[in-house]
Amino acid sequence: MKHYTLKITELRRETADTLTVVFKQPALKKIKYQAGQYLTLILKINGRRYSRPYSFSSAPGVDSDLEITVKQVPGGIVSNHIADRLKTGDLVEVMEPMGSFVLNPDSITTDTHLVLWGAGSGITPLFSIIKEALHKNTGKKVTLVYGNRSLESVIFKDKIKALKTVYPNFTSWNSHTKLAISEVNPTVIEGRIDPAKVLSVMQAEGDLNHTLHYICGPVGLKESVKTALLALGVKSQSIQTEDFEIVRDPVAFENISTRMVTVIKDGVKHLVEVVKGKSILEAGLDAMLNLSYSCQTGNCLVCKAVLVQGEVKMIGPTNKPEELNADECLLCCSFPMVENVEVAVA
């Protein structure tokens, strides 16, 4: 895994709790990425290293610099550190871009209608994808359905508006819990994005043939939009989703209890207490082990480890990723099932 050091050239406020961090693209070895991918920032805060992925809000070929857009999470360690402590000129360590929430040229034709569904900070990868699709004239039509609490919390409000004036094939629908449809706001939906609204938007946009959907936002949004689209006959392979965080079902933890786990790193054995509810990764990080990780949703495989002994349960990813060998597990989603579990990391 390649790491880079990037210089911050600008910090730009987008809304009261969201800001864009602009990094200078290195002059010689430019960082290659695809619209919809993410950059993992590694920051040292109070003596501990934290890794957090942030989707690019910039798009390659459109924006000359690398941009991420961060929403401050109440009580969040890294998002608030970025907002309160980082400044122009600071150097930040990052991992190479990762992620598969991208436009796949094999599934796009000149008739493709791209429909992007988002809420809150979920707009970031969608905005990157929209810019790239419009700039490269990918597909026939691009539609954004974007949910927010109020008009003030809409990230990229003016930029989305500007894109609509430049590209006649781009439409956007906004959903605000506090606004109603009116003659001056014909594309504003009242309330949260829900299946009924999905249906009304799709009917207003024409038929569903050739649609390709990208969803990024809270689990509730993802599930309701996906369910509605599948019920309308959209094929599951035409729906791509990105998760910013994982929501685990408490029932999955019923047979799990606090246990000691041995983590082998660089040939050295560390005995770590894994308290019920914490993953082996979280417990290892709490014990100040320098473990590599990024997404914590079971997607990037950066936290891959070999299960040397014992049994773990992976909670989170619906399927064990194909890229994992039979004796491998993801520490961010692994919970010990027996005593004397031993895992080895690179």
Kindly list the residues in this chain that would bind ligand FAD in the complex (CB under 6 A).
Answer: 38, 52-55, 68-71, 73, 75-80, 99, 121, 124, 242, 244-245, 295, 297
| DSSP 8-class letter at 131 | H
Report whether 58 contacts 126 (CB < 8 A).
no
- Least distance in angstroms from the C-beta of 164 to ligand FAD: 22
Choice between 128 and 296, CB closer to ligand FES: 296
- Judged by CB under 6 A, the residue of 23, 56, 293, 335 near ligand FES is 293
Structure tokens belonging to residue 258: 């606090």
Nearer to ligand FAD (CB atom), residue 78 or residue 234: 78
User: What stretches of 181-256 adopt beta strand conformation (E)?
Assistant: 188-190, 211-216, 239-242
Q: In what order do the strands lie in the sheet with 211-216?
A: 188-190, 170-176, 141-148, 113-119, 211-216, 239-242
Tell me the per-residue interface mask from 326 to 345 with ligand FES, x by CB under 6 A, - otherwise: ----x-x-------------
Among 294, 314, 341, 343, binds ligand FES (CB under 6 A): 294
Check if the beta carbon of residue 304 is closer than 8 Å to that of residue 277.
no
298 binds, among ligand FAD, ligand FES, none (CB under 5 to 8 A by kind): ligand FES
Rounded Cα distance between 204 and 184, Å, is 17
Q: Which of 182, 216, 218, 187 is nearest to 200 (CA)?
A: 187
Helix, strand, coil shares, percent, the chain, to 5: 25, 35, 40
- Work out what residue 71 binds among ligand FAD, ligand FES, none; the CB cut-off runs from 5 to 8 Å by kind: ligand FAD
Dihedral Cα 181, 183, 188, 189, nearest 10 deg: 20
Return the range that interacts with ligand FES (CB under 6 A); candidates 82-90, 107-115, 186-194, 300-308.
300-308
Which listed residue (146, 299, 314, 341) binds ligand FES by CB under 6 A?
A: 299
303 near ligand FES, rule: CB under 6 A: yes
What does 19 bind: ligand FAD, ligand FES, none (CB cut-off 5 to 8 Å by kind)? Answer: none
Binding ligand FES (rule: CB under 6 A), the pick from 300, 305, 314, 343 is 300
Closer residue to ligand FAD, CB minimum distance, 80 or 185: 80
Nearer to ligand FAD, 83 or 202 (CB): 83
Order of strands, sheet of 38-45, starting from the edge strand that comes earlier in the sequence: 48-55, 38-45, 91-98, 3-15, 18-23, 66-71
First to last CA, the chain: 11
Write the DSSP symbol of residue 56.
B
d(CA 31, CA 66): 9
Q: Which lies closer to ligand FAD via its Cβ, residue 84 or residue 183?
A: 84
Region 183-212 residues binding ligand FES, contact defined as CB under 6 A:
none
301 lines the binding site for ligand FES (CB under 6 A) = yes
Cβ nearer to ligand FES, comparing 160 with 345: 345
- 181, exposed or middle or buried, with CB in 10 Å at 0-12, 13-18, 19+? exposed
Nearer to ligand FES among residue 328 and residue 342 (C-beta): 328
Residue 66 interacting entry, from ligand FES, ligand FAD, none, C-beta within 5 to 8 Å by type: none
Alpha-carbon span 132 to 126, nearest angstrom: 10
Closer to ligand FES by CB, 72 or 296: give it. Answer: 296
Q: Which DSSP symbol is given to 264?
A: E
330 binds, among ligand FAD, ligand FES, none (CB under 5 to 8 A by kind): ligand FES
User: Residue numbers of the site for ligand FES (CB under 6 A)?
Assistant: 293-296, 298-303, 330, 332
